[in-house]
Amino acid sequence: MTAPGEDELRALVRQFAADHDPAGDRAEFLRARFDAGLAWVHFPVGLGGLGLARATQSVVDSELAAHGAPDNDPRRIGIGLGMAAPTILAHGTDEQRRRWLRPLWTGEQVWCQLFSEPGAGSDLAALGTRAVRDGDEWIVNGQKVWTSMAHEAQWAILVTRTDPDVPKHQGMTYFVCDMTAAGVEVRPLRQITGEAEFNEVFLTDVRIPDSYRLGEIGDGWRVAQTTLMNERVAIGGGPIPREAGLISAISSAWRERPEVRTPGAHAELMRLWVEAEATRITAMRLRQQLAVGAPGPEGSAAKLAFARLNQEISGFELELLGSDGLRYDDWSTSTWASERPTTVEFLGRSPGYRYLRAKGNSIEGGTSEILRNIIAERVLGLPGEIRVDKDVPWKDLAR
């Protein structure tokens, strides 16, 4: 069977939309969509896809959106879609793929990621959560941190230490962990904005069946690379409009409140506007590179720029607004309430929130310092850092 062209794919989607009521039961509709191979078209047939190029997904999405079809709320299940799914696809057995991918995609089962630990942040390979074999099971003990969605998740992807006697990269094993299992305790991790987007996860004598292992014993680092390489890349998508993002907040403030205007502030405003616009055009160029299959390393430049820009703009916004900038959140009540947001919305919140939340942008998903190391070493070919831990058994590392 040859792969369908764009017109055939469009016809296929229309037929699907005609056969399944988009206004009917949401879960029913999404399951049928998965079974029809229209979930993620670049996945194999039988696992929600049609084995097509990733770029053709936009044909399906736009056609279904035009029919008013429900989506799978991708922001809520981003970790499952972006990180767990490609790892299960690449390293899972047929049985594991059949079991986990469908409810993952429909959003019926939420996934989270148990990677970072208090003692293993930038140096993820130093992680120390122990998994010890016990017959057909593994017994896991340790602590994970910065886990989004752990409080809603049914499943987790988990990297553990299974052999402390070999150097750190060699002794790891990758599992799927049932978040409802005995011994899994999730605690909210309150952050500087006052709320708790993230969690700490304590694992105490958690029993994981060996059938939940992804990849070989001791091969966890290689499996984890698949996860980390697959941070979601937006392909296609519409053009990004000018003044999208945080720059819109200060641009609007400038236009609507002439009293905040000073020559000095104008110089700073325009400097930031130029940076924001350059970052936007770079993102468009990156998409064009991806569309022709030549992903450039500019993605790292974009993340560096995005973090710095968000921090600078939000810092400037507080100053621009003067004493109004000192009012936290909804301008009337400063409760610093500990809420559990599941997505991050910069706009629609106060400048103070933006300022504080943006501080996380240069830490989460790789600190800006580690990103600069990666650019210098992998893109520019400069010497790597001196690795004092390279040939040392994990158990003997200084900590």
- Clarify whether 231 is annotated catalytic: yes
User: Which one of 137, 185, 231, 243 is the catalytic residue?
Assistant: 231
DSSP code per residue over 134-146: ETTEEEEEEEEE-
Q: Which SS3 state, helix, strand or coil, does residue 324 take? A: helix
Whichever of 211 and 288 has its CB closer to other proteins, that residue is: 288
Could you tell me if 114 and 147 are in contact, meaning their C-beta atoms sit under 8 angstroms apart?
A: yes
Measure Cα distances from 51 to 37, 38, 40, 46 in Å: 9, 10, 9, 10
For residue 356, the minimal CB distance to other proteins (Å) is: 25
Could you tell me if 57 and 65 are in contact, meaning their C-beta atoms sit under 8 angstroms apart?
A: no
> Contacts with other proteins: how many residues (CB under 8 A)?
48
Q: Does 35 bind other proteins (CB under 8 A)?
A: no
Whichever of 90 and 302 has its CB closer to other proteins, that residue is: 302
Stretch touching other proteins by CB under 8 A, among 78-86, 173-181, 282-290, 319-327: 282-290
Q: Name, in order, each residue with C-beta under 8 angstroms of 74's C-beta and a sequence gap of 6 or more.
A: 81
Q: At which residue do the structure tokens 């600069």 appear?
A: 372
Could you tell me if 140 and 158 are in contact, meaning their C-beta atoms sit under 8 angstroms apart?
A: yes
Q: Does 261 bind other proteins (CB under 8 A)?
A: yes
Tokens of 64: 């279904």
Q: Does 244 bind other proteins (CB under 8 A)?
A: no
Q: Does 274 bind other proteins (CB under 8 A)?
A: yes
Q: Does 257 bind other proteins (CB under 8 A)?
A: no
Q: Does 305 bind other proteins (CB under 8 A)?
A: yes
Q: Which SS3 state, helix, strand or coil, does residue 278 take? A: helix
Choosing from 228, 230, 254, 392, the residue that interacts with other proteins (CB under 8 A) is: 254
DSSP code per residue over 105-135: HHTSS-EEEE--BTTBSS-GGG---EEEEET
Q: Does 367 bind other proteins (CB under 8 A)?
A: no
For residue 301, the minimal CB distance to other proteins (Å) is: 4
For residue 274, the minimal CB distance to other proteins (Å) is: 5
Q: Tell me the residue type at 120.
A: A
Residue 24 burial by CB count (10 A; 0-12/13-18/19+): exposed, middle or buried?
exposed
Number of helices and strands in the chain (H, E): 12, 8
Choosing from 68, 239, 241, 293, the residue that interacts with other proteins (CB under 8 A) is: 239
Stretch touching other proteins by CB under 8 A, among 21-29, 106-114, 321-329, 372-380: 372-380
Q: Which SS3 state, helix, strand or coil, does residue 67 take? A: coil
Task: Classify residue 245 by its DSSP letter.
Answer: S
Q: Which SS3 state, helix, strand or coil, does residue 274 take? A: helix
Q: Does 376 bind other proteins (CB under 8 A)?
A: yes
Q: Which SS3 state, helix, strand or coil, does residue 172 take? A: strand
Q: Does 191 bind other proteins (CB under 8 A)?
A: no
> Could you give the CA distance from residue 105 to residue 110 in angstroms, rounded to a whole number?
9
Choosing from 318, 375, 392, 397, the residue that interacts with other proteins (CB under 8 A) is: 375
Choosing from 143, 251, 334, 342, the residue that interacts with other proteins (CB under 8 A) is: 251
Whichever of 318 and 376 has its CB closer to other proteins, that residue is: 376
> Could you give the CA distance from residue 33 to residue 17 in angstroms, rounded to a whole number?
9
Q: Does 284 bind other proteins (CB under 8 A)?
A: yes
Q: Does 384 bind other proteins (CB under 8 A)?
A: yes
Whichever of 230 and 282 has its CB closer to other proteins, that residue is: 282
Stretch touching other proteins by CB under 8 A, among 94-102, 169-177, 215-223, 380-388: 380-388
Q: Does 267 bind other proteins (CB under 8 A)?
A: yes
Q: Which residues are catalytic?
A: 231
- The residue ranges that bind other proteins (CB under 8 A) are 239, 242, 251, 254-255, 258, 261, 263, 266-267, 269-271, 273-275, 277-279, 281-282, 284-285, 288-289, 292, 296-298, 300-301, 304-305, 369, 371-373, 375-377, 379-386
